[in-house]
Amino acid sequence: MKPVKGAKRYARMFINVVGMETAAQALAELSAVARLMVMSGEFRSFMLSPGFTQAEKESALRMIAERSGISGTVVKFIIHLTDNRVVGALSGIVKAATAIYLEKKKQAKAIVFTPVEVTKGNEERLKASLKKLVDRDIEIEYVIDPLLLGGILVKVGSTMYDSSIKGQLRLLKDELIKG
């Protein structure tokens, strides 16, 4: 099984199990577990190790869920992933499930890289422009990147829109090389 295909399959399964009504909350909970696996090498090793029984893994997951408020449905899904030995692909599953959720909700998420903080007026204009461009409601996450000298870099899904000075200079260089 290829990781990407497997991640998409499990992501679809996850969205179908939790339902669209509770998908946003369930995705947040699943993301928290995925972040824990990335941040804690011990937890990741524990979840991936064949040296621990499935019962030990379930017990640890239920204890973590109880303390952090993770729903039983999400716990059951993670247990299913450990049963099938694909819990290592949890980050990819979360990413694919988020994309599926946004697609079904006719929404998109954009990550906007800017060198400075964006004013409210520019934020609204950018949101309206991106909504027209992708023909969906858009949720924008702003990342301040001081390495950009000017302009912005926008990532919507797997598409990048580069209007930064650095990007424009790169395009100009390519044009000059081509002749």
Tens digit of each residue's pLDDT, the chain (179 residues):
445 567 888 999 999 989 888 888 999 999 999 998 889 889 898 888 888 888 998 898 899 888 888 888 999 999 999 888 888 889 899 988 988 888 888 888 888 999 888 888 888 998 999 889 888 888 888 999 888 888 889 998 778 888 888 888 888 999 999 87
Please name the fold of domain 3-102. Answer: Peroxidase; domain 1 (1.10.520)
Q: What are phi and psi of 51, to 5 degrees?
A: -75, -15
Is the Cβ–Cβ distance between 138 and 125 less than 8 Å?
no
106-178 belongs to which CATH class? alpha beta
Distance, in Å, from the CA atom of 136 to the CA atom of 113, rounded to the nearest integer, reads 20
- In sequence order, the 6+-apart residues with CB closer than 8 A to the CB of 111 are 140, 141, 143, 154, 155
Domain ranges for the chain: 3-102, 106-178
CA dihedral of 144, 146, 151, 155, whole degrees rounded to 10 = -50
Is the Cβ–Cβ distance between 87 and 81 less than 8 Å?
yes
* pTM, to two decimals: 0.66
3-state secondary structure 40-63: CHHHHHHHHCCCCCHHHHHHHHHH
